[in-house]
Structure 1
Amino acid sequence: MIDTKGRSLELFYIDGHPDGMITAELFNWTGHVFVTPRTRLTEALQREEAGYAGVYLLLGEKEGQDFAYIGEAEDLGVRLKQHAAASDKDWWETAVLVSASANRLNKAHVKYLESRLIVMAREIGHTPLHNGNSPKPPGLTEADIAKMEAFLASLMVVLPAIRVDMFIQRSRPAGSSRPVPVFEESGQDEDAGDGENTQAVRFILNKPTRDLTAKAIFRNGEFIVEAGSHARSEWMNEQAIHSGSYKPLQDELVRSGVLRPDGTHMVFTKDYAFRSPTAAAAIVFGHSVSGPAAWKLESNPDISFRDWQARQLDAVTEKDASE
């Protein structure tokens, strides 16, 4: 069952612009998230929450790809000063400090959070970590474990809002995203009576000259390429892989095991939720392409995703006009 309850998130831009220092808090959550660029570290460490116990993320790039470090401290400010002076951590550009109001987290709490975040990041595999071995979680009571897991669940809502997506799980077990039956023309699944938005439509992408076939399902706002789909093994040279290329995403999918070599091409080992049809098509073709035009209805290849979506929008407009 998908949790469809809304959450209220407050972002405060301390500097007045989104690239400066930011605080983020959820309504009815004791957690507090503070983001600071490394260039504003002097001002950031003067804030009260910088002296709290908590966990932190150091984010940046190394050798052209995203990189991160996850740590914990009883005094976040002291630990960040140490990292700023360390010669092996020149790569980080942003720090995310996670604490609790009134400094309610203790040493055992933050060690537990650190351990869980490292395990989660490595399981998802979006972003390589600078961390060495994964620390074992401390011995907490059953009640404290439940509290920290609830704390983590709320933190996972906040982090994507501040553009930290390393904990978003986009890969799924093979077949897990495949509802049966699916009605391509209406877009409605027979299970729609369960209260969830189960709109589901199947699409297909073919490139006979490269022996590539990929299948995807569009459901609940996600464009999910299904396990068993093909993808081109090499990336076409797009002006030496310009900044808008999806090549880094292909590298990530290979590194995390979502894509693996299979003869002359690669194959998806898991279902994977892309951010858009365009991103999905680019990974399949190995170069930039218009996804809405490339993906076709599996039941009617004459209709593209763009055509299908236009029909859905027209239907909404007609419904509004009749009311």
Structure 2
Amino acid sequence: MVTPKRPRTIQIFLPSGDPSGIRIAEQTTSIIRVVEVPRSDLADFLKMPEAQQVALYFLVSGDTKDEVYIGQSGDVRTRLMQHHKEAAKDWERALVVISLTNNLTQTHVLYLESLSIEKAKHCQRYELLNSNKGQKPHTPIPLKADCDEIHLIGSLLLATLGYPIFEPLTEQTSLATTPVFHCNRAGVNAKGMYTNEGMVVLKGSSAPMSTQRKTEQRFYDKRDELIAKGIISVENERFVFQRDYLFQTPSGASMFLLLASSNGWVDWKTENGVTLHDHQGRDLETKVQKT
């Protein structure tokens, strides 16, 4: 489910005043709240009244915070304590979705857990650590409508806090209007879309497994990491993207493909050979002139 793009007001409260500590996000017109809890501050959260509620929660891990476990509980305090004690559970941040009026039921969160797992798999933003699909209980139509709205608001709040678990990398509506850029140096055959999050390398893009250029081991390490995760595969001495993948910068994307240093603003070009740098400059001038 793509969050509708319209103006909204989001409030983020810092209980301790520390921007890297516990953060509480809410939309001013909604009763849904998301609490972001660093694992180091878990004890502080467990003392808060929000920890005594029925809740949907997300445990985020990975060096780049790209792995997530999705769960639900009728007593999120007890459940998070259990996760903290489990040696096999490697997580750094908990994101807890609750209601300001404490009116979520076990049926709500069971449905939301199943829906969230389904949506997270579809978006492929994060590596999902769940071993099952969750339990989707029989849900009356009015309650299902409430859950869909909760999921919509929760998705927005998660993305605002920096966890766009349910936001597609490329929206179907943008595919026809957003230009596709190509990186074709040194045997690379890649396509990408420049978004407000960075450069999305599109599924099917490929590059040689090795390079004759001066390079560093870190480029190979990142490639091997994505191979291990199944994001790219090896085919005929080339690595091929099995799904769309976001790099934070155009240069980060082109360096990954070329296995060496690169200026992505120059190495990404339109089909007509216009560099990303020149294209964005022209696009900026056009938009400014229209205002």
Establish whether residue 204 from structure 1 lines up as the match of residue 177 from structure 2. Answer: no
2:278 aligns to what? Answer: 307
TM-aligned CA distance change 1:202 to 1:172, over 3 Å: closer
User: Structure 2: any 5+ residue segments left out of the alignment?
Assistant: none
After the TM superposition, which residues 68-217 of structure 1 pair with which residues of structure 2 at under 5 Å, given as runs? 68-89=68-89, 91-170=90-169, 178-179=175-176, 198=177, 200-207=178-185, 209=186, 211-217=187-193
Report the aligned-residue RMSD: 3.4
**1: CA distance, partners of 2:48 / 2:84:** 17
TM-aligned CA distance change 1:104 to 1:246, over 3 Å: farther
TM-aligned CA distance change 1:250 to 1:17, over 3 Å: farther
Q: CA deviation at 1:65?
A: 7.4
TM-aligned CA distance change 1:295 to 1:159, over 3 Å: same
Q: CA deviation at 1:139?
A: 0.8
3-state DSSP of counterpart to 2:179: strand
Aligned length: 289
Q: Percent identity?
A: 26
Question: Structure 1 residues 303-312 or 45-54, which shifts more?
Answer: 303-312
**2: CA distance, partners of 1:7 / 1:106:** 27
3-state DSSP of counterpart to 2:37: strand
3-state DSSP of counterpart to 2:189: strand
Return the TM-score normalized by structure 1. 0.75
Q: CA deviation at 1:120?
A: 2.6
Matched residue type, 1:76: V
Matched residue type, 1:306: H
1:21 aligns to what? Answer: 22
Per-residue CA shift, 1:260-297, capped at 9, x if unaligned? 43323233455556544223323432344221121123
Report 1 or 2 for greater relative contact order, CA contacts < 8 Å, sequence distance ≥ 6: 2
Question: Structure 1 residues 1-10 or 144-153, which shifts more?
Answer: 1-10
Matched residue type, 2:141: E
**2: CA distance, partners of 1:221 / 1:131:** 26
**2: CA distance, partners of 1:33 / 1:67:** 18
Q: CA deviation at 1:132?
A: 2.6
Question: Structure 1 residues 123-132 or 20-29, which shifts more?
Answer: 123-132
Q: Is the 8 A contact 1:57 1:69 kept in 2?
A: yes
TM-aligned CA distance change 1:231 to 1:110, over 3 Å: same
**2: CA distance, partners of 1:311 / 1:125:** 32
3-state DSSP of counterpart to 1:201: coil
Matched residue type, 1:50: A
Q: Is the 8 A contact 1:125 1:256 kept in 2?
A: no
Q: CA deviation at 1:15?
A: 1.8
**1: CA distance, partners of 2:286 / 2:171:** 31
Q: Is the 8 A contact 2:58 2:69 kept in 1?
A: yes
Q: CA deviation at 1:23?
A: 0.3
Q: CA deviation at 1:254?
A: 7.1
2:209 aligns to what? Answer: 233
TM-aligned CA distance change 1:127 to 1:225, over 3 Å: closer
1:185 aligns to what? Answer: none
Say which one has the larger Rg. 1
After the TM superposition, which residues 30-49 of structure 1 pair with which residues of structure 2 at under 5 Å, given as runs? 30-49=31-50
**2: CA distance, partners of 1:283 / 1:212:** 10
Matched residue type, 2:25: A
1:194 aligns to what? Answer: none
Q: CA deviation at 1:50?
A: 0.9
After the TM superposition, which residues 253-292 of structure 1 pair with which residues of structure 2 at under 5 Å, given as runs? 255=229, 257=231, 259-269=232-242, 274-292=247-265
Q: Is the 8 A contact 2:181 2:271 kept in 1?
A: yes
Matched residue type, 1:262: E
Q: Is the 8 A contact 1:60 1:92 kept in 2?
A: yes
User: Structure 1: any 5+ residue segments left out of the alignment?
Assistant: 180-197
**1: CA distance, partners of 2:235 / 2:156:** 36
